[in-house]
Each structure stands twice: as C-alpha cells, then as structure tokens.
C-alpha cells in the first residue's frame, strides 16, 4: 500500500467518525427532549425552556395561577445538576427551598408555601392570627433596617435567625407570654451566652412594642421579663513593652499597616474599612457610632508615632478588616483584646499632654466633657500641633 492509498483510507475513516459523532449528538438531543417530556416535566402549557438560561414565570405557572397568586412571580426556579427541580423564595427574611425530582411535586410544595404566606398576610389585621415570624419580618425589614447601619442590621438578623426565630416560629403574637420569653432567655444564659441573651431580649422587646403600637396586642410581654445586664469588659491600655512586642509580631504579616493605623489613630475596628488619607497630615474615618443614621466623618491627625509607616499605609489602602485578621491580632495581643489598641491610643495621647477634649474628638466620642459643643472650634493647625506631642519611646 502506497502513501496515497493510506491517505485516502485515513480520510474515509475520519469521515465515518464524523458521521458517528453527529449521530450521537442527535441521539443526545432526542434523549433530552424525551426526558423533559416525561411525567416529571410540566404540562404543555407550562413548558420550561431549560436550555435557554433564565426561565420566565409564565413558562412555569399558568396565567390563571399567577392571576390568583401574584406572589408566585417572587419564586425563582432552576433545574439542578443532581436531577432535582428547585423553587426558592428569598424575600423579607425568608430563604425557603422546595425540591423534588418530580417537577409537579416541587411546584406543589412551593405553591403551598405561597398560599400559607398569603393567608398570614391576610390575617395581619386579625389580632388573633398574626404569626410571630410574619410580624417580626415586617418590623425588622420595614422599620429596623432603615434606621440602623448595615453592620448593625446584620448582627440583629444573626441573633434573630439563630436564636429568636427558632424559638417562636409558628406561634401567634398574642399567644407568646412573658413566661415563655423568660424561659427562652434563661436557656441562653445557662449556656453561658449572657450577652447574646441580652441582645435577644432587646430584639424581642422592640418587636413586641411595635405590636403594641400597632394595636396587635395591648401590653408588651417583655416588660415582665427580668434579665441580668451583661457586664462588658472595660478596656485597658497595653504597656509599652507589650506594644513593642506587638509591633514586632505584626510587622511580619500582611496586616501591619492596618494594625498600626488602629494603634496610632484609635479608630474602631469597624471604622478601619472607611479610612482614607484625604488631606495633608490627616487620616479620615467614618464615625460608626452614630445612632441617628447620619453619616459623620472624623479627621485624625497623623502623629510622629505613625508617620514612619505612612507610605506603607498608602500602599495598603483601601483597608479591609476580616475575621482572620481579628483572630491574628488577638493572638498577638493576648491577654488583651484588639479593641484595647483604641484604649492604648487614648491613654498615650493624654500621657503626652493632649487635652481630653481633643482626644475625644479624635476618637469620635460624643458628650465627653465639652467635646460636643466645642470640637468644631479646633482648627486643623491646632489639631496638628496637638498631634506632635504624641511621641514616646518603646
């Protein structure tokens, strides 16, 4: 066999292979069509375009269904790789998933949930049938969320979803009495979570007070509940020796610039992400301790203690503050806390002769002595002069 014959035979083999692959592709398409036309798939008037990405709601539900229950449009749908049909509802604090390998069953579960949700909302005006979770979700998302910072709301929802909601889900507002709330909080305290119990206490107190204000109930049951106030740890300054050791340890990490900014500006950990050097001699932070919802900024002068690291700080901006960073710094500071860096800054400033009122301004305090009434009178030049006093040896 010469080379030309071998070349022609190879060409024929490749052509035959191409025909086989084409036939297999066609069989795959037919198999897919047959699968989605089986009993597990929706009827003809609800055909799902599973191979076209997003599925329209009118391809899942009939017009009659959507007309009778508009909330069906709030459900999302997907066909998962594991062969399950999944409907999901993620609105107003809910995160519900309804799955089945049978499309009709998954759809039935989702519709049943929407029907129950509609029934609860319809009963909202009936004092005897207002569900706790329905009313609490309404209060938290319609009232609380718009009046607190995003970070604060995240903490509230964490406590609500992990502790409060599991304890009172399914009960009506009017059926929840003081003894049940007292037992719930006592159980948390017995586990050693005193602060969590106090936070849950205030969440329940505000929810039920809102119910009173809206004439759902006549009296706030939390008013009869007694809970010992969590004794918060008072901050303390670290010693110069500990400060020196801390700097040595953190200098070998990616957190060096951020840690030094906290140590030498006294910013709160939650304020670190807002840091920016916007004008000569100052670092600007958003003051996160504003209970009126206003966005307020504070300018902290760069002291001689921080100035040697300023280029590293600029290179690391914008900052982030992660749980890993918090754990790393806490390990370096034991037995002190990360928040004690803030107390250390305040202490060192006053030891170096900076007036308490000025230090209060840098820390973002309100109501400290004369701070609230006179801080706007401190000129940038005066602030920089005070910052020059903050020099000490380690």
- Of residues 10 and 31, more confidence is placed in 10
CATH class name, domain 240-387: mainly alpha
CATH class name, domain 129-224: mainly alpha
* Tens digit of each residue's pLDDT (9 = 90 or more) over 218-229: 999 999 999 887
pLDDT at 382: 93
* Tens digit of each residue's pLDDT (9 = 90 or more) over 196-246: 999 999 999 999 999 998 888 999 999 999 988 766 667 789 999 999 999
Lowest mean pLDDT among 61-65, 75-79, 163-167: 61-65
* Tens digit of each residue's pLDDT (9 = 90 or more) over 265-323: 999 998 999 999 867 899 999 988 766 667 888 999 999 999 999 999 999 999 988 88
Residue 341 near residue 262, CB atoms below 8 Å: yes
pLDDT at 25: 46
Q: What is the residue whose two structure tokens read 């004008």?
A: 279
Q: How far, in Å, CA of 69 to CA of 96, rounded?
A: 17
State how beta strands 96-100 and 276-279 pair: unpaired
Residue 128, pLDDT > 70, answer: no
How high is the mean pLDDT of the chain? 81
Residue 355, pLDDT > 90, answer: yes
Residue 325, pLDDT > 90, answer: yes
Residue 74, pLDDT > 90, answer: no
Q: Is 227 helix (H, G, I), strand (E, B) or coil?
A: coil
DSSP secondary structure string, 280-334? Answer: TTEEEEEE---TTS--EEEEEE--TTTGGGHHHHHHHPSP---HHHHHHHHHHHT
pTM: 0.53
Residue 20, pLDDT > 90, answer: no
* Tens digit of each residue's pLDDT (9 = 90 or more) over 362-377: 998 765 444 444 445 7
Residue 179, pLDDT > 60, answer: yes
């Amino acid at each position: 066999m010469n080379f030309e014959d071998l070349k022609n035979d190879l060409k024929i083999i490749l052509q035959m292979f191409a025909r086989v692959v084409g036939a297999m592709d066609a069989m795959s398409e037919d198999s897919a069509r047959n699968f989605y036309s089986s009993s597990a798939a929706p009827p003809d008037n609800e055909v799902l375009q599973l191979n076209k990405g997003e599925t329209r709601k009118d391809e899942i539900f009939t017009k009659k269904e959507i007309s009778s229950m508009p909330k069906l449009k709030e459900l999302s749908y997907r066909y998962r790789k594991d062969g399950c049909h999944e409907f999901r509802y993620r609105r107003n604090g809910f995160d519900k998933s309804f799955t089945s390998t049978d499309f009709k069953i998954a759809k039935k579960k989702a519709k049943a949930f929407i029907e129950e949700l509609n029934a609860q909302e319809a009963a909202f005006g009936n004092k005897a049938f207002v569900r706790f979770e329905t009313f609490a979700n309404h209060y938290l998302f319609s009232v609380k969320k718009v009046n607190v910072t995003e970070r604060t709301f995240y903490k509230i929802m964490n406590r609500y979803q992990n502790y409060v909601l599991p304890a009172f889900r399914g009960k009506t507002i009017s059926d929840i009495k003081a003894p049940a709330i007292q037992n719930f909080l006592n159980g948390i305290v017995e586990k050693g979570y005193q602060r969590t119990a106090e936070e849950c206490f205030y969440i329940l107190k505000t929810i039920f007070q809102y119910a009173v204000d809206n004439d759902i109930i006549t009296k706030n049951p939390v008013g009869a509940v007694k809970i010992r106030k969590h004794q918060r740890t008072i901050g303390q300054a670290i010693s110069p020796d500990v400060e020196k050791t801390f700097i040595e340890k953190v200098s070998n990490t990616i957190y060096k610039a951020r840690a030094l900014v906290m140590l030498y500006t006294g910013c709160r950990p939650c304020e670190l992400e807002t840091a920016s050097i916007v004008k000569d001699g100052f670092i600007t932070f958003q003051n996160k301790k504003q209970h009126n919802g206003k966005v307020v900024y504070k300018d902290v002068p760069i002291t001689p203690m921080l100035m040697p690291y300023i280029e590293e700080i600029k290179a690391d901006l914008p900052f982030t503050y992660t749980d890993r960073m918090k754990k790393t710094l806490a390990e370096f500071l034991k037995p002190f806390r990360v928040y004690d860096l803030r107390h250390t800054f305040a202490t060192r400033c006053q030891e170096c002769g900076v007036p308490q009122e000025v230090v209060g301004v840098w820390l973002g305090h309100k109501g400290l002595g004369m701070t609230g009434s006179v801080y706007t009178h401190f000129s940038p030049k005066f602030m920089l002069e005070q910052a020059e006093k903050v020099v000490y040896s380690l």
